[in-house]
A = this chain, B = another copy of it.
Amino acid sequence: MKSLIQKLLAGTLAFALPLTSAQAAEGMWTLDKLPLKKMQAQYGFAPDEAWTQHAQRSALRLAGGCSGSFISPEGLVMTNHHCVRECVQQLSNPQKNFVADGFYAKEQKDEVMCPTIELNRLDEISDVTARVKQATAGMSGADFSKAQKAEQSKIEAECVGDDKARTRCDVVELYHGGVYDLYKYHRFQDARLVFAPDEAIAFFGGDPDNFNFPRYDLDIGLLRAYEDGKPAKVADYFPFSKNGAEAGELTMVLGHPGSTQRQLTIAQLDRYRDLDLIPRLLLGSETRGTLNQYASENAEAARTSEDDRFGVENSLKALKGQLGALLDPAVFNFKRGQETELRGFVNSKPARKKKYGNAWDEIAQAQLAYATFETPYKFIERGNGFSSDYFRFARALVRGAMERNKPNGDRLREYTESALPTLTQRLFSDAPVYPALEKVTLAFSLTKLREYLGADDPFVHEVLAKESPDAMAKRLVDNTKLGDPAVRKALWDGGQAAIDASTDPFILLAKQVDPRARELRKRYENEVEAVEKKNAELLAQARFEKYGTSVYPDATFTLRLSYGEVKGWDEKGTPVPPFTQIAGTFERATGFDPFKQAAGVMAGCARPAEWRPAF
């Protein structure tokens, strides 16, 4: 298995030292609970408060699911190439493909706003555990779920205050509810593209080399944060080191890993593998085949499906790694050992047993409940059955109208006041929607809806009636007006009356689907999520009693620090040096995508005689 740092570099973490490999000490620590003694003992260095504050405010989160960092006092931001890829594609058109050709703003005036990127800088962490737990004391099921969401929404609204545009507040769960922290972010919604290398060098090696190290590419994208139409001035940033890192040097990596499942119970891991991971891999594999074949039809199909194809391939690689681990008996035995140890600790004292002892069984029961409706839940509520930007717009509009009529605390979490700016940024953006691609993805997902729910399912009958998935997708896409941001804005601003009056076929579909979708979501939140959360809080408590906070919490897309030294490793008997040389790119180049070296790089770099090809 790859070390954590390798995964972090490849995945959601972007602040990194490209072209350098580092071996991480195990752990991804929140910045307020760093293992200072361990670091001091192992490396003779432990960050002080000033160091940590500086690092925290230099690091960034891309709200859509990436990490980055400030690298200049004028708001310049560095991130991975795949983190700006969607933006680069959105700025392209049939005449100009910036993904293929690269993008470079020679002057500041040439920087172009990315329609859907939001940057978050973590400014403050405060502990709200007592408040959140107080709100749900003695509750379970639907009551628990409702009360917890209401309290979280309330805390967030109070934190944001009047400055929604610049302030984002998230109540985050750590240790699966052992700790609830309030993360207050500075929100930047005006992020402009500065530089993205051409695909051939930015993603040299493509999917075959993705997640593998060393990788011979220039995996970078530069953005600039703006405020009030001007580059944001920032006091904290990570300057470039002229000399780079050296072998053996202590290195810190900050970033926002998406999610990990290290503190799940065995029952949850079983369910995750069998009911989530494997179905996702199967559906993802079929999607991949569909999209890649679609892309082969013509250049425009290839261009417009580029980010979707990257997305599905990137996640398949990650999920396959997870599956490999979860099929490995050694991993499961290790996890079983951990659970047995904690159970032993809990059962060793009657008071503890009474307090925590039922948690595992209740969680296991919730997994059985989940199994009874997970397929319709994923296809109807979670979007597997309606893979379409138009549908996502329509749902946001239909639900937005309903939810905004409710008190903040009663809303679905993604429609609370503090969440709306992120939602409306995408909804009102002028990012292109591709009707031809929409037909392919919607028809495919409707076909899967019928397949997974069954041709005789009443919901399937209601949605498809006598139409085929292909015909329905074509009819909807050909007749919708939701591709126009002005139309979406008008529907949003018009509220429930506008939605009631709309005859847009996607609005009608989203309305038709909504009651069943909400019903499934409620079941999930009450019968699964609430049971898991309530009991995970107990297990977290039990773990704290036994281990304190010497264990780091599972990743939850919150800022983490990982540390280690710059070091090579051994890959199946082959030593891999800690540094990757640009020479490797030439050696691997074949002239064919994804090993097609960019013309500029090929021409611009001389190739010393002593570089021998590896094959």
Give the interface of A toward B (CB within 8 A). Answer: 205, 207-209, 212, 274, 278, 281-283, 285-294, 296-297, 320, 323, 327, 440, 444, 450-451, 454-456, 458, 461, 464-468, 470-471, 588, 590-593, 595, 614-615
Contacts and interface: CB of A to CB of B under 8 A. Distances in A.
Contacts of A283: 285
A205 B282 contact: no
A592 B288 contact: no
Contacts of A320: 282
**Per DSSP, are chain A's interface residues mostly helix, strand or loop, or mixed?**
helix
A591 B467 CA distance: 8
Contacts of A464: 590
Contacts of A595: 455, 468
Nearest to A462: B615
Contacts of A281: 282
A444 B454 CA distance: 30
Contacts of A323: 278
Contact of A290 (B209, B293, B466): B293
B290 A451 contact: no
A129 B614 CA distance: 53
B286 A461 contact: no
Contacts of A440: 293
Contact of A592 (B287, B327, B454, B466): B466
Contacts of A282: 281-282, 285, 320
Given A286-B285, A451-B207, A458 B293 contact: no
Contacts of A288: 286, 289
Nearest to A614: B456
Given A281-B282, A286-B288, A468-B592, A209 B455 contact: yes
A37 to B, nearest CB: 41
Most chain B CB within 10 A, of A283, A290, A294, A467, is at: A290
Contacts of A467: 590, 592
Nearest to A282: B285
